[in-house]
Amino acid sequence: MSFIFVYVTNPNKKTASKIALHLLKKRLIACANIFPIDSVYWWEDKIENTKEYVLIAKTKEDNWKKVKTEIKKVHPYTVPCITKINVEANKEYEEWLKKEVR
């Protein structure tokens, strides 16, 4: 079984937490980490420099499409960053993750 981290940028910690809880309640992810970050990016023909929060959600590869769909339903950005990172983990962690998600 393959596992992924879903990396999502958010405008604030409240939004990141809301998305994490939404995914956890649906049992689409086993765990989420939330970090404050500085983001520099192009938006509407100018360079932006903002504070954001990144959400890293941990799940099975099979849940990628469902997780992406659910995030889009509740995310406030017009163009949210929702990316998938393939990962490998120790056996015990993989067993725990497998048990916690549908």
SS3 39: strand
Determine the pLDDT at residue 90.
94
Which residue is associated with the tokens 């659910």?
A: 70
Q: Give the span between the Cα atoms of 53 and 10, in whole angstroms.
A: 5
Determine the pLDDT at residue 1.
75
Mean pLDDT to the nearest integer, 22-38: 98
Q: Give the span between the Cα atoms of 75 and 23, in whole angstroms.
A: 12
Q: What percent of the chain has pLDDT above 90?
A: 98
pLDDT in tens, 52-85: 999 999 999 999 999 999 999 999 999 999 999 9
Q: Sketch out the chain's domains with CATH numbers.
A: 3-100 (3.30.70.120)
Determine the pLDDT at residue 16.
98
Which 3-state string (H, E, C) describes 43-101? ECCEEEEEEEEEEEEEEEHHHHHHHHHHHHHHCCCCCCCEEEEEECCCHHHHHHHHHHC
Determine the pLDDT at residue 78.
95
